């Protein structure tokens, strides 16, 4: 079936740019967002700059506007683009306005598909890895910072008719591939989010800054190694990253680090200016989703008996930064010295 009514929950960079692109293609889209100034500005004209240039008025509503009495069962598909910490509340708040068969696509950092599947059922849950980046400039203004597309799959099994239909829809906004190993894709994306976003937030560095700073890169690659080890322990079959296995980025000694750091510099040369989303949250006085990224790795590690000291310290430090006890700066990396000592010798 074609999706007649599309609900995008979260009008930030990912949700907003996707909604603008779909609206531009003639799709019937409503953006649901709690930020009233942003909603009002989007209705007048959502401005996209960067890798995509577009100005278009979109249908945008706050929870007060998108009332159950007017929109009961309206949405045929939900594109969920909120922070991980808001997944449950945001999804439950819109469910009365969603068809009982509508798929929910997780356009989020971290692994939130488990939570979504618990609420609406696995048969309606679609995982989505996003290979492009974006950032918020201000109310009604978003920037697409890098090119890329979507990788989607039925959670947790892979292909299904609703995935095929969803891919057809999303391809109107970005190139969209279907994966038969969406868990592997999501965990491969988690490797990058936990390392470059997590460590970049701790150190106050862009993705490129993390890769070029030796101390930060040591920590980031250690985070990747821990995350990979946890995933393998729970049975994840990691998807390739840019055509190669992410296992080549693992660091067990200094020789590994020398090779892996060169690989990171090559692999993310086009993403160097990307500013970690959690750092952006902190600058705006918002809670980050660290519990659903690095903290998720820590929780899963405890379940299978895999130690994750670097992810634990990243999680703890970002919470200290949130509370004002610390600030994002290079000096924070000194606290990781013992954890990364084995790749310095």
Going from N- to C-terminal start, the domains of the chain cover 5-180, 184-343
In the numeric block, the tokens 């067990």 are attached to 252
pLDDT tens for each residue of 210-236: 999 999 999 999 999 999 999 999 999
pTM above 0.85, yes or no: yes
Are β-strands 46-50 and 54-56 bridged in parallel, bridged antiparallel, or unpaired? Answer: antiparallel
Q: What is the pLDDT of residue 81?
A: 98
Rama region for 62: left / alpha / beta (φ>0; ψ in -120 to 50; rest): beta
DSSP one-letter string for 7-65: EEE--SHHHHHHHHHHHHTT-EEEEE-S-HHHHHHHHHHEEEEESS-EEE--EEE-TTT
Q: What is the pLDDT of residue 182?
A: 94
* Whether residue 249 has pLDDT greater than 80: yes
Residue 243 in tokens: 């055509």
pLDDT tens for each residue of 52-94: 999 999 999 999 999 999 999 999 999 999 999 999 999 999 9
Q: What angle do CA 133, 56, 70 make, to 5 degrees?
A: 100
pLDDT tens for each residue of 252-310: 999 999 988 888 877 776 666 788 999 999 998 999 999 999 999 999 999 999 999 99
Q: What is the pLDDT of residue 1?
A: 54
Over range 234-244, report the average pLDDT. Answer: 88
CATH number of 5-180: 3.40.50.720
Question: Which residues pair with residue 151 across a beta bridge?
Answer: 129, 177
Residues 6 or more apart whose Cβ sits within 8 Å of residue 85 = 287, 289, 291, 292
Task: Give dist(CA 280, CA 236) in Å, integer.
Answer: 30
For residue 145, the SS3 value is coil
Over range 39-50, report the average pLDDT. Answer: 97
For residue 121, the SS3 value is coil
- Same fold: 5-180 with 184-343: no
- Cβ(150)–Cβ(128) below 8 Å: yes
Separation of CA 110 from chain center: 6
Fold for 184-343, please state it.
1.10.1040
């Amino acid at each position: 079936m074609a999706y007649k009514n599309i609900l995008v929950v979260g009008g930030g960079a990912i949700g907003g740019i996707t909604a603008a692109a779909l609206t531009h293609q003639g799709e019937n889209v409503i953006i649901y967002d709690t930020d009233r100034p942003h909603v009002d500005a989007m209705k007048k004209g959502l401005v996209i700059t960067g890798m995509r240039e577009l100005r278009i008025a979109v249908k945008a509503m706050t929870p007060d506007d998108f009332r159950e009495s007017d929109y009961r069962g309206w949405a045929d598909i939900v594109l969920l683009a909120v922070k991980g910490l808001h997944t449950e509340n945001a999804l439950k708040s819109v469910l009365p306005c969603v068809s009982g068969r509508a798929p929910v696509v997780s356009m989020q950092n971290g692994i939130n598909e488990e939570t979504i599947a618990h609420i609406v059922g696995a048969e309606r849950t679609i995982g989505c890895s996003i290979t492009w980046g974006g950032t918020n400039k201000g109310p009604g203004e978003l920037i697409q910072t890098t090119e890329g597309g979507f990788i989607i799959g039925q959670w947790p099994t892979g292909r299904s008719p609703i995935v095929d239909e969803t891919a057809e829809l999303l391809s109107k906004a970005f190139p969209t591939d279907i994966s038969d190993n969406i868990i592997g894709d999501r965990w491969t994306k988690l490797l990058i989010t936990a390392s470059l976003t997590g460590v970049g937030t701790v150190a106050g560095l862009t993705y490129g800054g993390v890769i070029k700073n030796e101390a930060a890169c040591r920590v980031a690659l250690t985070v990747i190694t821990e995350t990979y080890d946890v995933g393998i322990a729970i049975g994840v079959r990691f998807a390739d990253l840019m055509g190669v296995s992410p296992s080549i980025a693992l660091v067990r000694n200094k020789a590994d680090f020398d090779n892996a750091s060169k690989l990171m510099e090559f692999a993310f040369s086009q993403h160097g200016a990307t500013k970690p989303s959690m750092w952006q949250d902190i600058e705006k006085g918002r809670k980050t989703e660290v519990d659903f990224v690095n903290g998720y790795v820590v929780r899963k590690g405890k379940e299978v008996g895999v130690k994750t000291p670097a992810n634990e310290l990243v999680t703890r430090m970002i919470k200290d930064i949130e509370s004002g006890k610390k600030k994002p700066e290079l000096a924070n990396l000194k606290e990781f010295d013992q954890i990364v000592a084995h790749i310095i010798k």
